[in-house]
Amino acid sequence: MQASPSDTMTNRQFIEHIPEYLTRIGEHPAALSGSFGVLLLHGFTSAPDAVSGLIPSLERMKLTYDMPILRGHNATPDALIGVKAKDWYDDAYKALGKLCEKVDHVFIIGLSMGGLVALNLCINTHDYSDKIAACITWAPALGFVNPLAWLAKPLSVLFKNWKGQDSFHDPECRKNNHNYKTFPTKAFVELYDYAAETNKRLQKLHKPLCIIHSAKDQVVPINNSRILLEKSASAYKEMHELTRSGHELGQDMEAETVFKLTADFIKSFIPEQDQKTSE
């Protein structure tokens, strides 16, 4: 199915009775043969549980997966002091390499900051480029709602730490959140600059792309994902716009829909006969 963004933005699907807008551009590539794996990348200041909710779906599909802890995370906020965007990329690249030793094709999934890392792994040419099947981003951190974000660098001289934003709309889901409540301001500067650098490279993305974002994201504007959809050079790309979740797509009220959309996208690349053996 081929369409322009303007033609498809009004398409609507209903999944589990939750409305989401689906845009598809280009012709879906043929199914791949061989074995499959998934690289799961969490977001800035978050823990593995930000993306681990997808694991039961991956296990039902009998997919190999890795979920690395990116530098400075799953510890204390001070662990982010001195950490660079290159460290996050290098950690993910190392995990990708280990995964590629086990499987023929890898789907890279990234939430927020992890989405930036996923995009760069898919854009860059490296030893594992040919094994990357597709890129899946959950609210990639290509921009920020906070009006002070662009001032983070000068403010880092005055303020050592920055308070994290609320990233949930469901108060029950928020209770189980393990994100850092504060973080070093200079670490956010690193993320901000990484986002700016990645925005300049979107036209170099050629891997198949699936974007999932919520219109009510209070951390990263959904318009940044719409720009990603428009600018990427992917021959096939799709975007799902949810309507209720906050930024933490893997933990907030529409998490199950996010998991289903992600699993369905992955399945679309796996031959039907292989899917039957993995159910």
pLDDT in tens, the chain (279 residues): 334 343 333 333 333 334 568 999 999 999 999 999 999 999 999 989 999 999 999 999 999 999 999 999 999 999 999 999 999 999 999 999 999 999 999 999 999 999 999 999 999 999 999 999 999 999 999 999 999 899 989 988 888 998 888 898 988 888 888 899 999 999 999 999 999 999 999 999 999 999 999 999 999 999 999 999 999 999 999 999 999 999 999 999 999 999 999 999 999 999 986 774 444
CA distance 47 to 45: 7
Query: In the β-sheet with 64-66, what is the strand arrangement from edge to edge?
Result: 12-15, 18-25, 237-242, 209-214, 132-138, 105-111, 36-41, 64-66
pTM score, two decimals? 0.91
Number of H helices, E strands in the chain: 10, 10
pLDDT value at residue 78 = 96
pLDDT value at residue 20 = 66
pLDDT value at residue 1 = 35
Closest CA to 231 of 105, 109, 142: 142
pLDDT value at residue 251 = 94
Q: How many CB atoms lie within 10 A of CB 219?
A: 21
CATH entry 3.40.50.1820 includes domain 5-277: yes
Q: What is the 3-state secondary structure (H, E, C) of 262-273?
A: HHHHHHCCCCHH
Instruction: For residue 184, give every residue at least 6 positions away whose Cβ sits within 8 Å of its Cβ, in sequence order, or none.
Output: 77, 78, 80, 81, 160, 161, 162
